[in-house]
C-alpha cells in the first residue's frame, strides 16, 4: 500500500506534538522543526499531485477495507488543494519567522495542527472524519486568531468561536441523519446507498444534504453567513490571516465534494439539491463583498472583503455543475487563494512599517521606505486580484465568463463579476493612493522593509505568475479533475474495489 497519502497528516501531527513539549525558551529549535515540516509538505504535495494524475490513491488505516475502516482518498481535486495549501502555508510560515511567532505562546504547534486539519479535510473519505478534521482546524484557528491577545482579536474571536460552534452542531445533526438513513459514513458507499434509496427516504435525505450545505456555507462565509469573516481576518496577525485564506476554500471544497459525489447525477431527484439557490446566494455574496471592500477603513479589512468576493465568485462557478464551469472555477480558486494570502502579508508589512498607532488604516501616515519596490508589489497584487490583464486574475475571470450558459444567468453573472470588479479596482486604487501618496512627513519615520517578510509575499505573487505561464497544462489537469468529479465512478471503484460499477445498491 502506498503510504504517501497519509504523510500530509502525519508530518504536522508529529511536528506539532513535539513542539508542544519543547519549552517556550527553545524558540530556535521550534523554528527549525516547524520550518522543516512546513517546507517538506511541498514535495509531498507534488508527489501526490503527480500520483493522482494516474488514478485515485487510497490509503486504508489499519488496512481495514472500506466502508468499515477509515480511508484517505487522493484524487486530482484533493491533490490540487493540498498543493495550493502547502504553498500558502510555506509563505505564511516564512513571514511568521520574523517575529510574529513571538507574540504569543504555542504558535508553532498551533500552526502545524491548523495545517493538519486543513490537509485532513482534503484527504478524508468519510463524513465523520471530515467533521473531525474541521474541528481540529477550527480549534487551532481559535487560538491562532487570539495570537497576540489584542482587544480587537478577542472581540473578533468571540463571534468566530460562537458561530463555528453552532455550525459544528448542525454538522453533527446532518451527519447523524445521513448515517441513520444510509447506515454508513463512507462518502463513496453513501453515494451508492442514496442512489438506491426508496423514494420515501428522499425528503429526510434532502433535508440532511441541505443542512450540510448550510454548514459548509458558514465555513465558506457565503451570504448571509459571512459577517464574522471581515472582523476576524482583519484582526488576525498577518501570517495567520494569510493561512486563513485557505479556510473558506475548505468549505467550498466540501460543498463540491459532497454534492458531486453523494448527491451527484446518480442521486435521482436529490441530484442538484441546491444548485439554483447556491447560484443566487453566490451572486449576492460577490456583490456584498465588493460593497464591503469599497467601504473598508483599513487595508486588512479590505483584503478580508476581497476573500468574500472570491468566495462568491467560486460558489457561483460551482453552482453551474458542469465540467467546464468546475475547471474554470478551480483555476480561479488557486489564483484567489495565493493572491489573497500575498495581500494579507503585504498588509501586515505595511502596517508594521507605518507604526502601531496608524497601522493599515486609510489615513495619512509616514512616507514608506523604498516606495518603488513596495508600490510595485502592491500594484501587482491589486492588478491580479481585480482581474486585469495580464495576470492570473484576468485569466480566471475570463474563463468564468466564457462558461456561463446563455440566458438570465449570463446577464446577472456578467453584471456581478464585471461591476464588482470595477468596485474592487476603485477600492484598491483608494488604498494605494492613501498608502503611497497621502503621506505626512511630520509623522515619525516608518520602519524599514523586512526582506524576509517581503519575500514571503513575493513567493505567492510569483506562484500567481506561474499560473499564467502554465495555464494550458494546468487547465488540462483541472478539466480532468472536473470530469472525474461530475462522473465519480473512478473514485467509487478505487474506494470500494468490490463494486463493479458506480450504480446499484450498497455492497
113 touches 175 (CB < 8 A): no
Q: C-alpha grid cell for residue 137?
A: 482546524
**Cα gap 119→141, rounded to integer Å:** 14
Tell me the C-alpha distance between 296 and 47, whole Å: 41
H helix intervals, 183-246? 187-195, 202-220, 228-235, 238-244
143 contacts 237 by C-beta, under 8 angstroms: no
Question: Cα–Cα distances in Å, from 444 out to 61, 329, 435?
Answer: 58, 45, 15
- Give the pLDDT of residue 344: 96
The string of DSSP codes covering 43-60 is HHHHHHHHHHTTS-EEEE
Residues 422 and 405: their CA atoms lie apart, in Å, by: 23
Rounded to 10 deg, the angle between the 371-386 and 408-436 helix axes is: 170
Nearest C-alpha neighbor of 314 from the set 326, 302, 298: 326
Task: Tell me the DSSP string of 352-393.
Answer: HHH-TTTTTBSS-BPPPSSHHHHHHHHHHHHHHHHT-TTSHH
What was the pLDDT predicted at 266? 73
CA geometry: angle 474, 121, 507, nearest 5 deg: 95
Query: Which residue has cell 459577517?
Result: 227
d(CA 112, CA 12): 5
- Taking alpha carbons only, the member of 297, 289, 220 closest to residue 251 is 220
Tell me the C-alpha distance between 263 and 321, whole Å.
12
Helix then strand then coil, in percent of the chain rounded to 5, is 75, 5, 20
pLDDT at 506: 38
The span from the CA of 485 to the CA of 194, in Å, is 17
CA distance to 73, 190, 209, per residue, from 197 (Å):
25, 10, 14
**Is 299 within 8 Å of 431 (Cβ atoms)?**
yes
pLDDT for the residue numbered 44 = 95
Closest-CA residue to 245 (of 164, 309, 115, 341): 341
What CA–CA distances, in Å, run from 267 to 221, 317, 502?
A: 27, 21, 11
Q: Which pLDDT does position 25 carry in this prediction?
A: 74
Assess contact for 433 and 378: CB atoms under 8 A.
no
Per DSSP (E only), the strands in 378-478 are none
> Which mean pLDDT values do the consecutive 10-residue runs of the chain (507 residues) have?
88 92 84 90 94 90 83 94 96 90 84 95 93 92 80 76 88 92 91 87 87 90 89 90 93 91 75 74 94 93 95 91 92 96 94 83 85 92 91 92 78 89 93 86 75 94 94 94 91 79 40
What pTM does this model have? Answer: 0.93
Beta carbons of 72 and 124 less than 8 angstroms apart: yes
Q: What is the dihedral of CA 151, 238, 245, 5, to 10 degrees?
A: -110
- What local confidence, expressed as pLDDT, does residue 507 receive? 36
Is the backbone of residue 387 left (phi > 0), alpha (psi -120 to 50) or beta? left
Buried b vs exposed e over 415-440: b needs ≥16 C-beta within 10 Å? ebbeebbebbbebbebbeebbbeebe
Residue 436's nearest CA partner among 428, 241, 249 is: 428
pLDDT of residue 274: 65
Spatial contact of 262 and 273, defined as CB atoms under 8 Å apart: no
Residues 6 or more apart whose CB falls under 8 angstroms from that of 310 comprise 248, 289, 332, 333, 336, 337, 340
Element (H, E) at 73: strand 71-74
Contact 443, 287 (CB under 8 A): no
Amino acid at each position: 500500500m502506498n503510504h504517501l497519502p497519509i504523510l500530509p497528516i502525519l508530518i504536522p501531527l508529529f511536528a506539532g506534538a513535539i513542539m508542544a513539549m519543547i519549552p517556550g525558551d527553545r524558540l530556535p529549535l521550534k523554528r527549525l522543526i516547524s520550518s522543516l515540516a512546513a517546507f517538506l509538505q511541498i514535495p509531498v504535495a507534488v508527489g501526490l499531485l503527480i500520483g493522482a494524475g494516474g488514478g485515485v490513491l487510497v490509503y486504508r488505516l489499519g488496512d481495514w477495507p472500506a466502508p468499515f475502516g477509515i480511508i484517505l482518498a487522493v484524487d486530482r481535486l484533493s491533490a490540487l488543494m493540498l498543493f495550493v495549501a502547502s504553498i500558502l502555508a510555506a509563505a505564511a510560515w516564512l513571514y511568521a519567522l520574523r517575529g510574529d511567532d513571538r507574540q504569543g505562546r504555542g504558535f508553532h504547534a498551533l500552526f502545524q495542527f491548523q495545517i493538519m486539519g486543513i490537509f485532513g479535510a482534503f484527504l478524508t473519505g468519510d463524513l465523520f472524519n471530515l467533521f473531525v478534521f474541521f474541528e481540529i482546524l477550527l480549534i487551532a484557528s481559535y487560538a491562532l486568531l487570539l495570537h497576540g491577545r489584542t482587544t480587537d482579536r478577542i472581540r473578533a474571536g468571540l463571534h468566530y468561536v460562537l458561530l463555528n460552534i453552532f455550525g459544528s452542531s448542525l454538522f453533527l445533526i446532518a451527519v447523524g441523519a445521513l448515517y441513520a438513513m444510509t447506515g454508513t459514513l463512507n462518502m463513496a458507499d453513501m453515494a451508492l446507498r442514496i442512489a438506491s434509496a426508496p423514494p420515501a427516504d428522499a425528503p429526510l435525505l434532502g433535508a440532511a444534504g441541505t443542512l450540510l450545505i448550510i454548514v459548509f456555507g458558514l465555513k465558506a462565509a457565503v451570504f448571509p453567513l459571512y459577517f464574522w469573516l471581515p472582523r476576524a481576518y482583519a484582526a488576525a496577525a498577518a501570517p495567520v490571516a494569510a493561512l486563513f485564506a485557505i479556510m473558506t476554500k475548505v468549505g467550498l471544497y466540501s460543498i463540491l465534494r459532497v454534492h458531486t459525489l453523494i448527491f451527484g447525477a446518480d442521486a435521482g431527484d436529490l441530484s442538484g439539491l441546491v444548485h439554483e439557490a447556491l447560484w443566487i446566494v453566490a451572486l449576492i455574496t460577490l456583490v456584498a463583498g465588493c460593497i464591503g471592500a469599497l467601504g473598508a477603513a483599513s487595508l486588512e479589512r479590505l483584503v478580508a472583503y476581497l476573500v468574500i468576493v472570491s468566495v462568491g465568485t467560486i460558489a457561483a462557478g460551482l453552482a453551474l455543475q458542469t465540467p467546464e464551469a468546475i475547471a474554470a472555477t478551480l483555476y480561479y480558486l488557486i489564483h484567489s487563494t495565493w493572491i489573497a494570502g500575498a495581500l494579507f502579508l503585504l498588509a501586515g508589512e505595511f502596517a508594521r512599517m507605518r507604526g502601531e498607532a496608524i497601522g493599515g488604516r486609510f489615513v495619512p501616515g509616514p512616507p514608506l521606505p523604498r516606495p518603488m519596490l513596495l508600490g510595485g508589489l502592491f500594484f501587482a497584487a491589486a492588478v491580479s486580484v481585480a482581474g486585469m490583464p495580464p495576470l492570473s486574475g484576468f485569466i480566471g475571470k475570463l474563463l468564468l465568463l466564457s462558461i456561463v450558459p446563455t440566458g438570465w444567468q449570463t446577464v446577472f453573472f456578467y453584471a456581478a463579476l464585471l461591476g464588482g470588479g470595477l468596485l474592487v479596482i476603485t477600492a484598491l486604487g483608494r488604498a494605494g493612493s492613501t498608502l503611497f501618496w497621502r503621506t505626512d512627513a511630520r509623522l515619525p519615520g516608518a520602519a524599514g522593509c523586512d526582506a524576509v517578510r517581503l519575500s514571503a509575499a513575493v513567493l505567492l505573487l510569483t506562484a500567481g505568475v506561474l499560473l499564467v505561464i502554465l495555464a494550458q497544462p494546468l487547465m488540462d489537469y483541472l478539466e480532468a479533475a472536473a470530469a472525474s468529479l461530475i462522473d465519480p465512478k473512478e473514485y467509487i471503484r478505487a474506494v470500494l474495489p468490490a463494486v463493479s460499477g458506480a450504480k446499484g445498491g450498497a455492497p
